[in-house]
Amino acid sequence: MKILVTGGCGYIGSHTCVELLNENYEVVIIDNLSNSKEDVVNRIEQITNKKVKFYEGNVQDETLLKRIFEENKIDGVIHFAGYKAVGESVKKPLMYYENNLESTITLLRIMNDFDCKNIVFSSSATVYGVQESPKYVETMTRKETSSPYGTTKSMIEKIMEDLYYSDPTWTISLLRYFNPVGAHSSGLIGENPNGIPNNLMPYILKVAIGELPELTIFGNDYETPDGTCIRDYIHVVDLAKGHLCAITHALDNKGKLHTYNLGSGHGVSVKEIVDTFERVNNLKLNYKFGARREGDLPEFFADPSLALEELGWKTEQSIEDMCRDAYNFIIKETEK
């Protein structure tokens, strides 16, 4: 079986390629390297000892997409390609709507033309918006999101749902990720954003290696046990395995629209992440408590029972594993 992975050189895409190759899927990547490096392809091959077919280009490029489908008999697509920086999307909404929506619509159109109607999409817990309960279940309705980035995810979910209702021979899996962190245990692939990171773990890593002076914990006056925000962190390898389960299930259960939460089901506070990071890596992080960050919710976590029931998937790796693997990756990166 051959899977096209859009954005396969990125953080989650690269880990997913590894899991697919380990299960003997053939992998074709399209990535325009706007937020990744071509060397990731070599690293995926190094970890798995398998070959990957790589096309450098934009998913909005219809001609290139057609060529990929002509040159490869694609059985299914996992669609990661898109921009993902929340703050940047507030400043440059058109750039986000254009890239995330246009690439998805072009991709769906070409898939339809080639009668390849099986897609797994990278959605996000951000589509839940603010709910009555912090435990998010797939049956909750999508609410207003807090950024244009989040809105692109909501809109794409809706586009894919409408597509399915118009033609139920499509198989569509919407995967709502909670907070992916960590890296492959080899230390060869992981997340190392350029500039000042917005997300917690990349920021912690930059402080740990001395690239940034200090972490600010955004708020310690929330109504949570230690006053800091609670999230559902998921090891990126567990998340990648979730994609493997989703595409395998989709290939066996055609003509369905699925929506799954991919999270651990456990809420962990920012302070607990910081404490665990210090303990497992045997270091001290320079941090202080600061003001709340606008738009942050005090607490949310996944109800992951549907993914367990239907895909047989659940997370296996602990917060300790996430902290250890993330640090191992960044140390290896900085040694280069």
End-to-end alpha-carbon separation of the chain, Å?
36
Which range, of 7-15, 131-139, 307-315, 319-327, touches ligand NAD by CB under 6 A? 7-15
Comparing CA positions, the residue from 177, 328, 193, 189 lying closest to residue 261 is 177
Would you say 12 or 30 has its CB closer to ligand UD1? 12
Q: Return the CA Rg of the chain.
A: 19
Selected binder of ligand UD1 within 44, 155, 236, 270 (CB under 6 A): 270
Nearest residue to the partner ligand UD1, using Cβ: 229
Residues 36 to 95 in contact with ligand UD1, rule: CB under 6 A: 84, 86
Nearest distance, CB of residue 42 and ligand UD1, angstroms: 26
Comparing CA positions, the residue from 197, 269, 198 lying closest to residue 233 is 269
Would you say 13 or 267 has its CB closer to ligand NAD? 13
The token pair at 75 is 């059985």
The position carrying tokens 């990929």 is 68
Q: Does 124 bind ligand UD1 (CB under 6 A)?
A: yes
296 binds, among ligand UD1, ligand NAD, none (CB under 5 to 8 A by kind): ligand UD1
d(C-alpha 177, C-alpha 239), whole Å: 8
Amino acid code (one letter) for 59? V
Quick note: the x/- pattern for ligand NAD over 154-193, rule CB under 6 A, is -----------------------x--x-------------
- Catalytic: 149? yes
d(C-alpha 117, C-alpha 227), whole Å: 46
Selected binder of ligand NAD within 43, 84, 206, 258 (CB under 6 A): 84
**In whole angstroms, how far apart are CA 314 and each of 80, 203, 246?**
21, 27, 12
Residues 24 to 43 in contact with ligand NAD, rule: CB under 6 A: 30-36
Nearest distance, CB of residue 195 and ligand NAD, angstroms: 13
d(C-alpha 97, C-alpha 148), whole Å: 7
H or E element that contains 118: strand 118-124
274 three-class SS: helix
Selected binder of ligand UD1 within 112, 216, 253, 334 (CB under 6 A): 216
Quick note: the x/- pattern for ligand UD1 over 142-161, rule CB under 6 A, is ----x---x-----------
The position carrying tokens 């693997």 is 325
Would you say 21 or 201 has its CB closer to ligand UD1? 201
Comparing CA positions, the residue from 52, 67, 62 lying closest to residue 109 is 62
In the sheet with 53-56, reading across from the earlier edge strand, the strands are 53-56, 26-31, 2-6, 76-79, 118-124, 171-177, 257-262
The position carrying tokens 């890239």 is 99
The token pair at 184 is 């492959």
Which range, of 7-15, 187-195, 198-206, 323-331, touches ligand UD1 by CB under 6 A? 198-206
Point out the catalytic residue in the list 55, 149, 222, 327: 149
Q: Where are the alpha helices (DSSP H) in 124-195?
A: 148-166
Selected binder of ligand UD1 within 36, 126, 261, 281 (CB under 6 A): 126
Nearest distance, CB of residue 112 and ligand UD1, angstroms: 28
| Residues at the interface with ligand UD1 (CB under 6 A) | 84, 86, 124, 126, 146, 150, 179, 198-200, 203, 215-218, 229, 231, 270, 293, 295-296
| Residues at the interface with ligand NAD (CB under 6 A) | 7, 9-13, 30-36, 58-60, 80-82, 84, 99, 103, 122, 124, 177, 180
Tell me the catalytic residues: 149
